[in-house]
Amino acid sequence: MRNTAKITTAVLAAGALTLGLSACGSDKDSSSDTSGPLVVAASPTPHAEILDYVKDNLAKDAGLDLEVKEFTDYVTPNTATEDGSVGANYFQTQPYLDDFNKKNGTHIVSVVDVHLEPLGLYSHKVKKADDLKSGATVAVPNDTVNEGRALQLLAANGIIGLKDGVGTAATPADITKNPKNLEFKELEAAQTPRSLDDVDAAVVNGNYAIEADLKPAQDALVLESAQGNPNSNLLAVKEGHEDDPRVKKLAKLLNSPEVKKFIEDKYAGAVLPSF
């Protein structure tokens, strides 16, 4: 049985953030007392599901008291980790983390890579990417790294061309070739699967694809390759908390053979172990 505290948050504009924001409505620093439970902020799928597996099957034997809090956006888990409302988070990639720290003055650091969620292009209107019509509208995530990652996916599959060297900082302004004259609709990442009835196609993050009952290995028109992919999802903490014994225990469990098997069995290629 799941014993997860669910928190639904409004989407916050990163430029308007203040580090005094308490994501959980409390000023208590849950990361300061290493004798208490380790509170981890996570996206519902697959992150919280993986953490719940650890909590229900592995944590007790390892002497770890684990509490999972679910968040539905890509901003609040980091602000909550920064202000101590939670002791760690598990939802993001290293490029996203680096960009977030740079823009918001936060001090979040990676502890261990856990899994990869391949980014995919989906559609309710066409069966192949080649079938997209001229002037078709494609939804992409609007945060810097995921938008750039989405455009890189389209470029890697010959759908568009991008300026050399833009990497995950790419925006539609960096498109150099657009043979289908595609129009891009920039949406908060969680909204991209919900837009599929309104746009011709959408690039969707793996966790949101799973939540929307999309099967990346089967349903994606094009899908990110796992080989050489830098976008593994990771466990992160505020700088200075890397040696917290609770964090070390969780990191070891998240890279255990049991978790690897759980990921492989449950997600059937939609989520891939990174260890």
pLDDT digits (tens, 9 = 90+) for 188-215: 999 999 999 999 999 999 889 989 999 9
Structure tokens at 240: 């200075």
Lowest mean per-residue pLDDT among 17-26, 75-84, 88-97, 211-220? 17-26
Mean pLDDT of the chain: 89
Global pTM reads 0.74
The CA distance from 171 to 148, in Å, is 6
Residues 6+ apart with CB under 8 A from 100: 14, 75, 78, 92, 106, 108
79 in Cβ contact with 23 (< 8 Å):
yes
The CA distance from 80 to 89, in Å, is 9
Give the Cβ contact number of residue 67 at 10 Å.
17
Structure tokens at 239: 């700088």
pLDDT digits (tens, 9 = 90+) for 159-190: 999 999 999 899 999 999 999 999 999 999 99
**16 pLDDT higher than 70:** no
Helices 76-83 and 94-104: crossing angle in degrees, nearest 10, is 60
172 in Cβ contact with 184 (< 8 Å):
yes
State mean pLDDT over 265-269. 89
The CA distance from 62 to 244, in Å, is 14
pLDDT number for residue 29? 53
pLDDT digits (tens, 9 = 90+) for 220-251: 999 998 777 888 999 999 999 999 999 999 99
Structure tokens at 118: 């391949």
13 vs 267, more confident:
267
pLDDT number for residue 229? 84
Structure tokens at 128: 């192949």
147 in Cβ contact with 186 (< 8 Å):
yes
**End-to-end Cα separation, the chain, in angstroms:** 27
pLDDT number for residue 227? 72
pLDDT number for residue 34? 75
DSSP string, 182-246: -EEEEE-GGGTGGGTTTSSEEEE-HHHHHHTT--HHHH-SEE---TT----EEEEEETT-TT-HH
**6 pLDDT higher than 90:** no
- Is residue 18 very low, low, confident or very high in pLDDT (cuts 50, 70, 90)? very low
Helix (H) or strand (E) holding 150: helix 144-156
- Is residue 144 very low, low, confident or very high in pLDDT (cuts 50, 70, 90)? confident
What percent of the chain has a predicted confidence (pLDDT) above 90?
79
**22 pLDDT higher than 50:** no
- Is residue 33 very low, low, confident or very high in pLDDT (cuts 50, 70, 90)? low
Counting Cα atoms < 13 Å in the Cβ hemisphere of 86 gives 28
